[in-house]
Chain A
């Protein structure tokens, strides 16, 4: 392809960047207000995002069930706030997620996703299990093809979906209002200039910051094409990004095939336990909730909350610590399950991300049977903590400090473990807010032509480069830096050195690409570098440790310091500098 890049210009009232769960919901809802809605998606919305290959769980406050238990929405929020986030959560946002999640489930049902089962003893015919909270609050459902259904619904409503465009820059006016965004077609190699009256940023998480444990590139639990593009874009536009320091130590899970089955309290309930080589239980199994009791007894809300807070750390032992003490090996053990329980789990896995393929592999290649065999529990690769812990700073209407720029889902910061309900509720709400914003605005605002030229130049340089490096080479060097200087134990001098080395790479190294595909990958690595730098800077700024729940540890400040640091740390770019501010945590 020749190196003169052509720009496509697209006008849209609402632009949604990232077509995952949050982005699709945003687009779907925004269309209810009329106006042109466009989703720009790096991959293909049919299979993109953390739910791209499926999802089997959504938590919610479920009135038909929870009211019968005598469990209120405040009880759920207290459980989430205390047991999961340990207070470190935006009260307004978790309120939004908790209140709206059930309604979004009903919407999904309208879109063709099944939540009801004939063999269920639960009101509504749902399948509900305990995962996140002190009572069962999580729907298990047929979520494997959720992205297909959402895509179809979006198209049905007249949303324009543009796949295979990686977005690189936000465009805004000097007085802080969004005017559009820029991206690059990863197949056609064209520059895409979007003029928009409102933008919803929903590009998900920031992965690929660390080396993959198995050495098989791409073998990661969460999608490796989610490279924190939205955070990088937001940061470059001066939007505050919060909680980037919380890049956690590696956890143990099913090894070496990294996928989303988490701890034994997630998808492999209730029969899943973790045992050691001598079959001694490290984490016990659980049992299905006794739904016969529903309505007959009120739940002792305080007691179950207390129980959750006690058992949660117990069922999440520090496996890396145990390994370093010579303990192990560890195994996931479902062999005590009844046939009914194992079938339930296999069904559940088959709907979770990568799960269908995983089951096929286990059965046909490994001749593995959960009824008889165990799977070893091994180190997985590192990740940013708790889904939407880190991300863009937004208000309760999901708007950032740039007017008209909204964020949703894992793009948003301050809502640890908001997970899929966060994506669905925030997506919906952001879509609505964006659509309303667009309606209030008559004309498109001017876009910064310089940025368009910059992007064109960047791409040309990559194509013409002789001395530039292949993106994999740069990524490897960056990951080594993040692993070494922002490891499990951080300290001032190490973080400073890491920043120095990362900035040196950013300033002195250039990319070389042969085609638009490699261009897309190179742009991802630029995001990774930006996110990596944010991790290092935020880590340096937080002069305390916060092991629970984030695993954040500073050797030079080994204690938690709630007085000074029970806040979200926000970093924003101001010219050449990066400024930090403390954001009070709203209850």
Chain B
């Protein structure tokens, strides 16, 4: 790539940025409206996003089962609002997710993803376990090939998938989105999209913090998800919410950082946590007795018990470690053969799980039936999947007309996970497609942003004094970890912002080739997101331990009166502005 690099112009009615679960669903749904749909993906949709190497769980309100339990959708909502988000949630969006994910599951089934099992005693032959709510509400399914299935479905429907393009800028004209710009990560070309609507679904923001094990890339979540959507949106003047919720590190399977969290996730029901002498710290559970379905009706007492149990299931390992307690072990040795096989099947479908099992078995000669795995500190993450992200209305549209967002790109929905990706992707795709049908032609896009991007890339590629992206990233991570650590305070946050601004203002990148250029662009996203974390942390003058473990030493108490709101950060003419969005 050089400063004369070719520009590839693409016109599309709907542009989906990010081809993960949400993006593929958006593209698939949008295609039903007879409009041209393009997905621009940084990697390859076959294996990209948090479900790129698999996913084994999605929660939903499942009428054939939950109606029999006497558990209605409002009960699910209330479980999620109280037990998971502790009130800090956008209820309109939650309703969308809760009410529509079952339909999405049936769609996924049509796309070739299997949810039914002969040995199941559950109506519909599903495999359903408790994970997020007071009754079983999570499907376990054959999710390892889900991205392959979604990619095939999208292609079958005529969606144009462009892989290996990193989108860097949104384009807008007169308050309406008009397209986007990107860089080909292999061909080094510039991609200039004109579109009538955009669905932004680039997922989470990772790499803000040092990797605990010192093995770069060893993270539970994809390290190529660098919050690109949030920075693009921020620069386009769109408000981003809840970016202060960058959590302390959790203890999970160490040192191989992998997606199956606590024993109430993939390693149910046999998974327990034990201490050094076999003492039980978190007990195992048992499969739901489906013979009982319909015999007992659900009551709110079930919720009360569940909420208490949920707290007990999540002991404060970092505090316990600081008290000299430990080591802690994930222990499945109490499981029956059936239970262990279930857990292994489940793990094999979860992200990284298939490869992890192979490694455990063949390299470590590990057997869940006999051996335990130690829990160790994992690397830090932004809290709760779609807790932080873009502010959207109930149709998933942002303040920038024609710009929609879906999945983990959206803010205000703690722990909506894959359910949010499927439902919001679908809905955003629909809304975007419908909107484009009302728009006659493409809006004009100016040349300035492309010229800027061209110059930026040229500078990086020709730089002599610039720094390697890894060097800049390391400095930024050290700053985030030190000034936006587990305990925050005004002066520390101000100093952190100062130091980040200093890096942004004075440091340039050096890239030897297109691949490195893209890594540099990712680090730029990381820096912008780090600034958002710091600034919003400074703005929130309270603590919110539950559920985000957000703690300010100078404002140690929770203050719902003033702060039961989403804090929205917006760039207005180069200055950061905050507003509060009260939570209804």
Residues of chain A at the chain B interface (Cβ within 8 Å) = 211, 213-216, 256, 276-278, 323-329, 376, 378-379, 476, 479-480, 484-485, 487-491, 493-494, 496-497, 554-556
Contacts and interface: CB of A to CB of B under 8 A. Distances in A.
Given A491-B324, A494-B327, A256 B491 contact: no
Choose among A211, A326, A490, A496 the residue with the greatest number of B CB atoms under 10 Å from its CB.
A326
A326 B478 contact: no
Interface in B485-519: 485-489, 491-492, 494-495
A476 B276 contact: no
Given A324-B487, A326-B488, A484 B377 contact: yes
Given A215-B474, A327-B553, A493-B277, 11 more contacts: A214-B478, A276-B491, A277-B494, A325-B487, A326-B488, A329-B483, A329-B492, A480-B214, A485-B327, A496-B276, A555-B323
Nearest to B489: A326
B74 interface: no
A93 to B, nearest CB: 33
Interface string B203-223: 000000010111100000000
A277 B554 CA distance: 14
Contact of A325 (B212, B474, B491, B553): B553
Contact of A326 (B214, B323, B492): B492
A448 to B, nearest CB: 37
Nearest to B474: A215
A379 B275 contact: no
B474 A216 contact: yes
Contacts of B477: 215
Cβ-closest 4 pairs across A and B: A555-B324, A326-B553, A491-B324, A326-B489
| Contact-size category for B | 35 or more
B253 to A, nearest CB: 14
A264 B214 CA distance: 32
Contacts of B324: 489-491, 494, 554-556
Contacts of A213: 478
B533 to A, nearest CB: 16
A493 B327 contact: yes
Nearest to B322: A489
Contacts of B474: 214-216
A490 to B, nearest CB: 6
Nearest to A256: B478
B306 interface: no
B325 to A, nearest CB: 7
Given A378-B482, A491-B325, A555-B323, A326 B494 contact: no
Contact of B276 (A277, A325, A493): A493
A553 B553 CA distance: 25
Contacts of B322: 488-489
Contacts of A556: 324
19 contacts: A215-B474, A277-B494, A323-B485, A326-B488, A326-B492, A326-B552, A326-B553, A326-B554, A328-B491, A329-B483, A329-B491, A329-B492, A376-B495, A480-B214, A489-B322, A493-B275, A493-B276, A493-B326, A555-B323
Contacts of B376: 484
Contacts of A216: 474
A484 to B, nearest CB: 7
B348 interface: no
Interface in B270-310: 275-277
B327 A326 contact: no
Interface string B400-421: 0000000000000000000000
B31 interface: no
A278 B495 CA distance: 12
A507 B67 CA distance: 58
A327 B374 CA distance: 33
A327 B483 CA distance: 10
A328 B276 contact: no
B346 interface: no
B491 A278 contact: yes
Contacts of A328: 489, 491-492, 495
Contacts of B275: 493
B327 A497 contact: yes
Contacts of B242: none
Nearest to B471: A216
B255 interface: yes
Choose among A277, A329, A476 the residue with the greatest number of B CB atoms under 10 Å from its CB.
A329
Contacts of A329: 483, 491-492, 495
A350 to B, nearest CB: 27
Given A493-B276, A556-B324, A480 B255 contact: yes
Contacts of A555: 323-325
Nearest to A376: B495
A211 B478 CA distance: 13
Contacts of A376: 495
Nearest to A495: B324
Choose among A378, A484, A485 the residue with the greatest number of B CB atoms under 10 Å from its CB.
A484
Nearest to B212: A480
Contacts of A494: 276, 324, 326-327
Nearest to A211: B214
Interface in B535-572: 552-554
Nearest to B277: A493
A278 B322 CA distance: 31
Interface in B360-402: 374, 376-377
Contact of A277 (B321, B326, B491, B552): B491
A325 B556 CA distance: 11
A554 B554 CA distance: 30
B544 to A, nearest CB: 15
Interface in B30-89: none
Given A324-B487, A326-B553, A476 B214 contact: yes
Contacts of B489: 326-328
Nearest to A487: B321
Interface in B246-261: 255
Contacts of A554: 324
Contact of B487 (A277, A326, A379): A326
Contacts of B552: 326
B23 to A, nearest CB: 33
A378 B475 CA distance: 13
Contacts of A491: 324-326
B323 A489 contact: yes
B115 to A, nearest CB: 40
